[in-house]
Amino acid sequence: MKVEETYLDVLQNIESAIANEYGNNASLKDRDVLEAIQELVRQYAAEERRQRSIPSVYLSPPSHAVFESVKEVCDLRLGRLEHNAMEPVGLGELLACLKRIRSSIQYWTKRNGSRGYLNYMTPFVSLVEEGL
């Protein structure tokens, strides 16, 4: 079964965080989001492999803002934050979601330019948040 069918809610949570950052910073580009997502994949993969130290984060300010927002959502979905009523997902499932988003960013950037992913994804997130 496809990631987007099984974990649609997780993907929507992550993309909502990305869309919020885009709303806060209109100069954000797909590459900023891609760098943040790649860093999150690297960190959670290191954790999954039980490495003793998690890699340090060195990102540009726009990428770092996306990284922090998405990491908070990821930690929420992993069940790491207090007052979480959501069913936690496993680290492997979260990594699959992040990798799916990464491939979506790469596809839409290649197809529609430097904000292809952001401009494609944002209207869908808005519709979901409005309950349509």
Domains of the chain by residue range: 3-129
* Average pLDDT score, the chain: 91
Q: What is the mean pLDDT of residues 5-27?
A: 94
- Note the pLDDT of residue 128: 64
Q: What is the mean pLDDT of residues 99-122?
A: 97
- 121 pLDDT more than 80: yes
Q: What is the mean pLDDT of residues 32-60?
A: 89
- Note the pLDDT of residue 127: 63
- Note the pLDDT of residue 50: 84
In the chain the first and final C-alpha atoms are separated, in Å, by 25
For the chain, what percent of residues have pLDDT higher than 70? 95
Q: Provide the whole-model pTM.
A: 0.91
- Note the pLDDT of residue 132: 46
Within 8 A by CB and 6+ apart from 22, the residues are 28, 118, 122
- Note the pLDDT of residue 130: 61
Q: How far is Cα of residue 32 from the mean position of the Cα atoms in its chain? A: 12
- Note the pLDDT of residue 129: 65
